[in-house]
Structure 1
Amino acid sequence: MGTAQLTAVPEPKYWHLRTVLLRAIDSEFATGEVIPNERELSARFGVARATLRQALDQLELEGRLVRRRGIGTLVAAPRVGVPVSRREEGWPGGSEQSWQTVDCSIAPATEQLAAALNVPVGETVYTVRRVRLNQGQPVATESLHVPDSALAQLPEIRLSGTAGEAADQGRAVLRRLERLTVEGESRAVELGVAEAEQAALLQRPPGTPVLVVTSQYASGGRLAALAVATYRADTCRLTFGETGLVEVTPVPSAVRTAS
């Protein structure tokens, strides 16, 4: 078996500056403190403003800095834990204290959704949209897909089109799910970006990095629900405990950027 020669790739100037800035932030500035403006930082590190902006944008993307209009750029606060687990929040995602139901829609299962739910194409699927709040600020959205066959005893749901009633109907679906016994569940996490609909609920621009948590719940020997939650990657980190449960920790609202 032969060996390959690895070619060194020059480090971009903005990335090197990002590393230098990170060291300075960790050693010189406290949480919530405003760092010097771009002119001062450019002069201190001897770099062009364009390079500096790239480095600052990267650190904001990573959740290390936040920009506040009329104030400046601040050092982000340590993350505060928000657990993501059925044990602590109930199934399939918690009470209205942590999650707020936005609406509920009914549509035939597309080929892709039918494959994910293991149901025939065209079967009716209820989709409940919710937003998760921390200190009053949105940190995640969720689309919970429930096939009609999993809710055989649930009376027919008629959507009126009004936001208030659609939210009530979404809560009715959740109440029905609470009566089911969970026989198994699985959870997967991957990196993604917020599409326009998700970004609006998260109050962030489209394309914002998100952590996508996909959960499957089995009941009655079949897949009863599929939940796809998107957490803001700029303010959240995932940790896995001994129990295998996922914990997501968002930055406090005091230093969270406004959209």
Structure 2
Amino acid sequence: MGTTQLETVPEPKYWHLKTVLSEALDSEFSVGEILPNERDLAARFGVARATLRQALEQLELEGRLQRRRGVGTTVAPPRMGVAVGTEQHVWPGAAGDTWQPTDCTMTAPPNAVAAILETAVGEQVHTVRRSRVSQGQPVAAELLYVPESSVPGLPAVDAPSGAARARAVLRRLQGLSLEGQERAVELGSARAEDAKELDRLPGAPVLVVTTRFIAEARTAAVSVATYRADTCRLTFGDSGVEIHHGPERHAS
């Protein structure tokens, strides 16, 4: 790699460096590749290490880089598209669903979710926990709240707990005729439990997607999915949630 010196620019030096580094990521590095150490990068671009750290921190916030303990700074995988406004209606767990069920318990949902489900505050419902991984990295965690009335007579003996019971709830739910779904997206902060599952610090920015599933003219289930804001982006259309690969990156 050659040496690139930054010229005098009106914008902050770290911001200009961020742009230069971003272009280098597209042309010289591949996903998962480890960047040179800070000393070498600072020497290449002719900046102080403090300036370099500011640029790297900004690129990390934008989801271009990932800092991994014991590994270093690596090129992040492409952001995952979170589709909103889609006309495609499918139950969680249907064919092609890439979420992985991990657990299912009987818990009382948050009051806001209970209001959507039209269940009494404190009334317990099936709470299915699922996760989603991209490029070997956790990118989203979901809590799916299913009232007893949506999956009546679920035999506990067949699936007493854990992922097996989660799959049993999803299978029974798919037996209902899905009439539609409503989705809302908002920016939030990772709670301690979400942060641990997503490998982020508590308070890190996340996208919270709440989906109401409608069957038999009532709310049959509510999903609250938390996505890492640094690895996901919103998409609009009818293609569902899919992986967007973005610009091709080449190894140096």
TM-score range, shorter chain: 0.7 to 0.9
Amino acid at match of 2:30: T
Query: Using the alignment, how far apart are the partners of 2:57 and 2:79 within structure 1?
Result: 19
Q: Give the match for residue 237 of structure 1.
A: 233
Q: Give the match for residue 182 of structure 2.
A: 186
Query: Using the alignment, how far apart are the partners of 2:176 and 2:134 within structure 1?
Result: 28
Q: Give the match for residue 202 of structure 1.
A: 198
Residue 46 of structure 1: how far off its partner (Å):
4.3
Q: Is the 8 A contact 1:104 1:170 kept in 2?
A: yes
Amino acid at match of 1:247: V
Is residue 211 of structure 2 the alignment partner of residue 215 of structure 1? yes
Secondary structure of the 2:178 match is coil
Is residue 241 of structure 2 the alignment partner of residue 247 of structure 1? yes
Query: Using the alignment, how far apart are the partners of 2:96 and 2:21 within structure 1?
Result: 40
Structure 1, unpaired ranges of 5+? 1-9
Residue 127 of structure 1: how far off its partner (Å):
1.0
Q: Is the 8 A contact 1:186 1:215 kept in 2?
A: yes
Query: Using the alignment, how far apart are the partners of 1:198 and 1:250 within structure 2?
Result: 24
Structure 2, unpaired ranges of 5+? 1-9
Q: How does 1:8-47 map to 2 (within 5 A)?
A: 14-26=14-26, 28-32=27-31, 33-47=33-47
Secondary structure of the 2:55 match is helix
Secondary structure of the 2:172 match is helix
Secondary structure of the 2:241 match is strand
Q: Is the 8 A contact 2:102 2:129 kept in 1?
A: yes
Query: Using the alignment, how far apart are the partners of 1:137 and 1:121 within structure 2?
Result: 35
Q: How does 1:1-259 map to 2 (within 5 A)?
A: 14-26=14-26, 28-32=27-31, 33-67=33-67, 72-78=72-78, 87=88, 90-94=90-94, 98-134=98-134, 137-151=137-151, 153-155=152-154, 157=156, 165-241=161-237, 243=238, 245-249=239-243
Moved over 6 A (4+): 80-86
Q: Is the 8 A contact 2:88 2:240 kept in 1?
A: no
Residue 83 of structure 1: how far off its partner (Å):
7.6
User: Structure 1 126/68 Cα, relative in aligned 2: closer, same or farther at 3 Å?
Assistant: closer
Residue 181 of structure 1: how far off its partner (Å):
0.9
Computed over aligned residues only, the root mean square deviation of the Cα atoms, in angstroms, reads 3.6
Query: Using the alignment, how far apart are the partners of 1:55 and 1:74 within structure 2?
Result: 14
User: Structure 1 112/118 Cα, relative in aligned 2: closer, same or farther at 3 Å?
Assistant: same
User: Structure 1 12/149 Cα, relative in aligned 2: closer, same or farther at 3 Å?
Assistant: farther
Residue 185 of structure 1: how far off its partner (Å):
0.6
Q: Is the 8 A contact 1:123 1:148 kept in 2?
A: no
Residue 91 of structure 1: how far off its partner (Å):
0.7
Identity of aligned residues (%): 56
Residue 11 of structure 1: how far off its partner (Å):
6.0
Amino acid at match of 2:128: V
Secondary structure of the 2:161 match is helix
TM-score by length of 2: 0.74
Amino acid at match of 1:29: E
Q: Is the 8 A contact 1:189 1:214 kept in 2?
A: yes
Query: Using the alignment, how far apart are the partners of 2:35 and 2:214 within structure 1?
Result: 50
1:78-123 deviation per Cα after TM superposition (whole angstroms, max 9, x unaligned): 45779897959x4124459722222112134553332232323233
Query: Using the alignment, how far apart are the partners of 1:50 and 1:123 within structure 2?
Result: 53
Q: Is the 8 A contact 1:240 1:247 kept in 2?
A: no
User: Structure 1 11/193 Cα, relative in aligned 2: closer, same or farther at 3 Å?
Assistant: farther
Query: Using the alignment, how far apart are the partners of 1:219 and 1:143 within structure 2?
Result: 19
Q: Is the 8 A contact 1:141 1:230 kept in 2?
A: yes
User: Structure 1 143/12 Cα, relative in aligned 2: closer, same or farther at 3 Å?
Assistant: farther
